[in-house]
């Protein structure tokens, strides 16, 4: 049987731009035909416009084009094209290249020789009799988003399906034709899952995003897709693929001496104090990898690390001497994906003399006796 289905809404699978690649090519050659005129080898690609300086004049030679005193000829791209360079030819095929917009040839009020960026096209020998042609190079400018339309994996009798066009703009019709012998019950248009950035490719521009157990980075303050488990907030990136993830929940309260007794681990250019199995409690899961990225187990970070995380998450609270601490901006990242906001006093791994260590709270950083039990908001180093 032949089943032909016409969709008024495009099948949304993979979004692409209108121009696949921005490779410089020869777009058109503009050939002089007469005074202030040009012919186009490709329609609606580029135009030449003229202007004259005070007291200027223009003579004309049909074979050589624009020739006279005090004029400029400016090449501009038509809509949908980007010019990267123009090569100007004079009557004897001498050339000059302009690789920066605006693309202009000009003469002075004293000299008819075309000049490109101030340099005579004939090298200053007063031999040129005007421009003969202009080669225009560039690429098609990406326009509206298009969508690649493909069959889902596992589609039966896939070789008997055709899709036209294979790429279409939003709201454009797409025709799906089946030429096999099976009965078609339904065709469903769905958007293909977004290709998320991997934690291993994280950069500073990803700070604030949600990290899931698969090692994907998801949009900040939004729930992760079905099938993903949110782990924490990407709070600090020290270099591509290395940094710290802030936990969505607290570990049980600990005194600092207990924390100091945990093993140390070096991650993201800092020393972390790694929680033991018992210290993680019921709120946290132990991780050694998120997707393809090796990570520490949950750990307590240094004061400088927490300060950097809070700054990256937009905190406005803290002091000049000690740096930022958590506030509502920080907690918005956490609660936005179902985490528990930071509250109360929380230990860092930073020691302050023999009996004291550094902790943070919602108003400032301070020191306290190591025997005190405070909250712990762990991080993962990667």
Q: Which residue in 270, 259, 333, 314 sits closest to 296, CA to CA?
A: 270
Using pLDDT thresholds of 50, 70 and 90, give the confidence band for residue 194: low
Note the pLDDT of residue 10. 33
Assigned token pair, 144: 């509206």
pLDDT at 19 over 50: no
Residue tagged 């600090």 (tokens): 236
Q: pLDDT band at residue 382, thresholds of 50, 70 and 90?
A: very high
Higher pLDDT, 121 or 54: 121
CB 209 within 8 A of CB 343: no
First to last CA, the chain: 56
Question: Picking from 29-43, 346-360, 361-375, which range would have the lowest pLDDT averaged per residue?
Answer: 29-43
pLDDT(372) > 90: yes
Across the chain, mean pLDDT equals 85
DSSP codes, 208-222: T-EEETTSEEE-TTS
pLDDT band at 13 (very low <50, low <70, confident <90, very high): very low
Q: For residues 251 and 258, what is the distance between their CA atoms, to the nearest angstrom?
A: 13
pLDDT value for 332: 95
If you count them, how many residues does the chain have? 382
Higher pLDDT pick, 153 / 370: 370
Given a cut of 80, whether residue 239 has pLDDT beyond it is: yes
- Under 8 Å between Cβ of 144 and 169: yes
SS3 for 274-327 is ECCHHHHCCCCCCCCEECCEECCCCEECCHHHHHHHHHHCCCCCEECCCEECCC
Q: Which residue has the higher pLDDT, 310 or 106?
A: 310
* Whether residue 153 has pLDDT greater than 80: no
Residues 6 or more apart whose CB falls under 8 angstroms from that of 359 comprise: 345, 346, 347, 348, 365, 366, 367, 368, 374
Q: pLDDT confidence of 305, banded at 50, 70, 90?
A: very high
**Burial degree of 312 (CB within 10 A; 0-12, 13-18, 19+):** buried
What pLDDT, on a 0 to 100 scale, did the predictor assign at position 23? 76
* pLDDT at position 231: 96
Residue 101 pLDDT > 70, yes or no?
A: yes
Percent of the chain past pLDDT 90, that is, above it, reads: 52
Of 124, 107, 117, 115, nearest to 55 by C-alpha is: 107
pLDDT at 137: 94
Q: What are the tokens at 241? A: 């693929």
pLDDT at position 20: 42
If one counts every other C-beta atom within 10 angstroms of the C-beta of residue 77, the result is: 20
Q: What pLDDT is stored for residue 12 in this prediction? A: 36
Instruction: Grade residue 164 by pLDDT with cuts at 50, 70 and 90.
Output: confident
More confident residue, 165 or 320: 320
Read off the pLDDT of residues 195-235 as tens digits, 9 standing for 90 and up: 689 999 999 999 999 999 999 999 999 988 888 899 999 99
pLDDT at residue 35 tops 70: no
- What's the rounded mean pLDDT across residues 134-162? 80
Query: Residue 30 has which token pair?
Result: 């503009």
Q: How many helices (H) and strands (E) does the chain have?
A: 4, 34
pLDDT at 369: 98
User: How confident is the model over 57-85, as a mean pLDDT?
Assistant: 77
Query: pTM of the full predicted structure?
Result: 0.54
Give the pLDDT of residue 192: 66
Evaluate the omega torsion of the peptide bond into residue 215 and state whether it is cis, within 30 degrees of 0: no
pLDDT above 80 for 342: yes
Burial class (CB in 10 A: 0-12, 13-18, 19+), 19: middle
Which of the residue ranges 60-74, 121-135, 304-318, 330-344 would you say has the lowest mean pLDDT? 60-74
Neighbours of 135 (CB within 10 A): 17
Segment 58-69 mean pLDDT:
65
Q: Is the pLDDT of residue 193 over 70?
A: no
Q: What does the pLDDT read at residue 146?
A: 67
């Amino acid at each position: 049987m032949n089943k032909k289905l016409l969709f008024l809404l495009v099948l949304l699978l993979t979004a692409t731009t209108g121009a696949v690649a921005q490779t410089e090519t020869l777009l058109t050659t503009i050939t002089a035909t007469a005074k202030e005129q040009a012919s186009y080898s490709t329609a609606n690609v580029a135009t030449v416009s003229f202007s004259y300086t005070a007291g200027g004049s223009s003579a004309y030679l049909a074979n050589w084009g624009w020739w006279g005193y005090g004029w400029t000829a400016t090449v501009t791209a038509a809509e949908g094209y980007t010019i990267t360079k123009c090569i100007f030819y004079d009557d004897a095929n001498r050339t000059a290249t302009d690789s920066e917009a605006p693309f202009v040839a000009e003469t002075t009020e004293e000299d008819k020789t075309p000049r490109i960026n101030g340099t005579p096209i004939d090298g200053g020998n007063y031999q040129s009799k005007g421009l003969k042609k202009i080669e225009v190079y560039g690429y098609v400018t990406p326009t509206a988003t298009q969508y690649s339309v493909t069959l889902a994996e596992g589609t039966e009798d896939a070789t008997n399906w055709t899709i036209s066009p294979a790429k279409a703009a939003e709201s454009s019709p797409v025709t799906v034709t089946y030429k096999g012998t099976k009965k078609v019950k339904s065709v469903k248009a769905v958007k293909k899952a977004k290709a998320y950035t991997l934690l291993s490719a994280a950069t500073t521009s990803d700070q604030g995003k949600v990290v899931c157990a698969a090692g994907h980075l998801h949009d900040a303050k939004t729930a992760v897709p079905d099938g993903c488990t949110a782990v924490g907030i990407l709070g600090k990136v020290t270099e591509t693929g290395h940094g710290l993830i802030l936990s969505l929940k607290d570990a049980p309260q600990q005194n600092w001496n207990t924390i100091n007794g945990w093993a140390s681990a070096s991650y993201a250019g800092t020393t972390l104090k790694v929680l033991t199995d018992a210290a993680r409690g019921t709120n946290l899961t132990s991780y050694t990898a998120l997707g393809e990225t090796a990570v520490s187990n949950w750990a307590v970070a240094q004061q400088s690390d927490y300060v950097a995380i809070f700054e990256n998450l937009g905190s406005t609270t803290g002091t000049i001497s000690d740096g930022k601490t958590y506030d509502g901006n920080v907690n918005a990242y956490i609660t936005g994906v179902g985490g528990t906001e930071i509250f109360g006093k929380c230990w860092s791994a930073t020691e302050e003399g023999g009996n004291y260590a550094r902790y943070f709270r919602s108003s400032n950083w301070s020191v306290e006796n190591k025997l005190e039990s405070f909250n712990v908001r762990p991080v993962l180093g990667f």
